[in-house]
Amino acid sequence: MSGQYEILCLENPLLDIQAVGDEKLLQKYGLKSNDAILAEEKHMGLYEDLFQNYKVDLNAGGAAQNTARGAQYILPADSVVFVGCVGKDKYAEKLVEANKKVGLRAVYRYDEEQPTGRCGVIITGHDRSMCTDLAAANCYKVEHLKENWDLVKQAKIYFVGGYHLTVSVPAILALAEEAAAENKVFMLSLSAPFIPQFFKDQLDQTSPYWDYVVGNETEARSFAASHDLNTEDIPTIAKHMANLPKKNTQRKRTVIITQGTEPTVIAVQGDNDVKTFPVHVIGKDEIADTTGAGDAFAGGFLAGMAKGESIEKCVDMGSWLAKLSIQELGPAYVSTSAIY
Ligand code: ADP
Ligand code: MG
Ligand code: MG
C-alpha cells in the first residue's frame, strides 16, 4: 500500500489557539460555552486577546486535517494526503510540523495575501467554544484541486469535512462526482450544527453522493430540524439520512452518528435495523481534552475502511483512536506509541 495514497481529505487547515477562559470572556465576544461558529467582525479581537491575556496552547487543527492525521497515524506510510489552503506564515509551518510527526502529506495551496486560518478555542469546564476565522482557508477553489488531480485519481476514498461547505462546494462536488463515476468512496462529516442549519442547501447538494456520512448527536438533530423531520430520535434520523436518494447505486449508504460516551449509531441504506456500538470507555481522570474526539473517530474509521475492514471493526477503530486522542491536548496522536 506504500506510496499509494489510499485516502484524500479536503477541508480547512487551521491553527487552534486554545486557552482556558471564563464566562466574562465568552460574554465579551457573545459566544456560547459549547459551540462552533465562523468569526464575524466583532470576534476578530479574540485571537490577540487570547495571546495577550491568557495562557494559550497552539495546536494543529482543522477538523478533516485532524482526521487525516489520525488515519495516517494508523496506516502504513504515504496512505493519506490532505489538501487545503494556508497562508505563507509561521502558523502554516506549525501545521506542516504537526503533520510531519505522523507522516501526513499535506498538499497546501499557499495564498499570497491571507494568513493561515485560526480557530479560537475557549475552554470553560467541560465545554469548548470554537470561533473560526477562515482567512486563507477560505481561498481554496476547485481549480486548486484540479492542479492535484493526479492525487485524486490515485486515491480510493475521499473524505470531506463539512466545514468546507462554507468555502468551495464546486471542489467538494468535483470529488463527489469523481467518486460516483469511478465507484470510489465519498465520505462527508457534518462537522457542526451550524452546517445543516445555515448551509442546508450546500449540504443537500452533496447528499446524493454520500457513501458514508459521519456526525455527532447535535449535528444529527440539527439536520433533523432543518429538514423538518419532527424527531430528535437519533436512530430515526440516521435511518432517514441513510435512505435519501443516492447517485451511485453500487454502494449502499452508511450513516454513523457518535454520541460522546453513549453508543455509536449506525444506519445502512435499506436495512430495517439500526445498530449501536459501545465506545471505548476511559476514566474521567485520564481525559485531557475532548476537542476533536469526533475528528479522531473519523480518522480511525477511515483507516479501517482503507484496510477493507468490516463496519464493526471500522467503528471500533474510530472509537479506539478517539480514546487515544482525548488523552492529549488536541488530536495530535503523538503522546503514546499505541498501535491498534
Ligand atoms: P464530537 O467530538 O464531534 O463532539 P463525540 O463527542 O460524539 O464527537 O465523540 C466522538 C467519539 O469519541 C465517541 O463516539 C467516542 O468513541 C469518543 N469519545 C468522546 N468522548 C468520549 C469520552 N468521554 N470517553 C470515551 N470516548 C469518548
Ligand atoms: Mg461531543
Ligand atoms: Mg465533531
Q: pLDDT tens digits, residue range 71-90? A: 999 999 999 999 999 999 99
Cβ-based burial of 31 (10 A; exposed 0-12, middle 13-18, buried ≥19): buried
Look at residue 253 in the predicted model and tell me its pLDDT: 98
- 322 within ligand 1 shell (Cβ under 6 A): yes
Q: Measured in angstroms, how far is the CA atom of residue 15 from the centroid of ligand 3? A: 16
Look at residue 2 in the predicted model and tell me its pLDDT: 43
Residue 245, all three cell numbers: 436518494
Q: Measured in angstroms, how far is the CA atom of residue 216 from the centroid of ligand 3? A: 6
Q: Measured in angstroms, how far is the CA atom of residue 292 from the centroid of ligand 2? A: 9
Q: Is 332 or 165 the better-scoring residue by pLDDT?
A: 165
- Measured CA to CA, the distance from residue 86 to residue 199 in angstroms comes to 23
> Has residue 291 got a pLDDT over 90?
no
Amino acid at 326: I
> Has residue 1 got a pLDDT over 80?
no
Please provide the average confidence, as pLDDT, over all residues in the chain. 95
Nearest residue (by CA) to ligand 1, atom 16, is 319
DSSP secondary structure letter of residue 15: E
How high is the ipTM of this complex? 0.96
Q: pLDDT tens digits, residue range 99-138? A: 998 999 999 999 999 999 999 999 998 889 999 999 999 9
Cβ proximity of 162 and 188 under 8 Å: yes
Look at residue 337 in the predicted model and tell me its pLDDT: 74
- 258 within ligand 1 shell (Cβ under 6 A): yes
Look at residue 3 in the predicted model and tell me its pLDDT: 58
Q: Is 49 a catalytic residue?
A: no
- 84 within ligand 1 shell (Cβ under 6 A): no
Look at residue 317 in the predicted model and tell me its pLDDT: 98
Nearest residue (by CA) to ligand 1, atom 8, is 294
Options 16, 111, 133, 295, the catalytic residue? 295
Interior angle at CA 219, CA 268 and CA 297, nearest 5: 65
Cβ proximity of 31 and 128 under 8 Å: no
- 128 within ligand 1 shell (Cβ under 6 A): no
- pLDDT-based confidence at residue 334 (cuts at 50, 70, 90): confident
DSSP secondary structure letter of residue 115: P
CA–CA distances in Å: residue 241 to residues 159, 162, 222, 223, 327: 18, 15, 12, 9, 32
Task: Cite the beta strand spans of the chain per DSSP E.
Answer: 7-10, 14-20, 35-38, 57-61, 80-87, 105-111, 117-124, 127-133, 157-161, 185-189, 212-216, 254-259, 262-268, 275-277
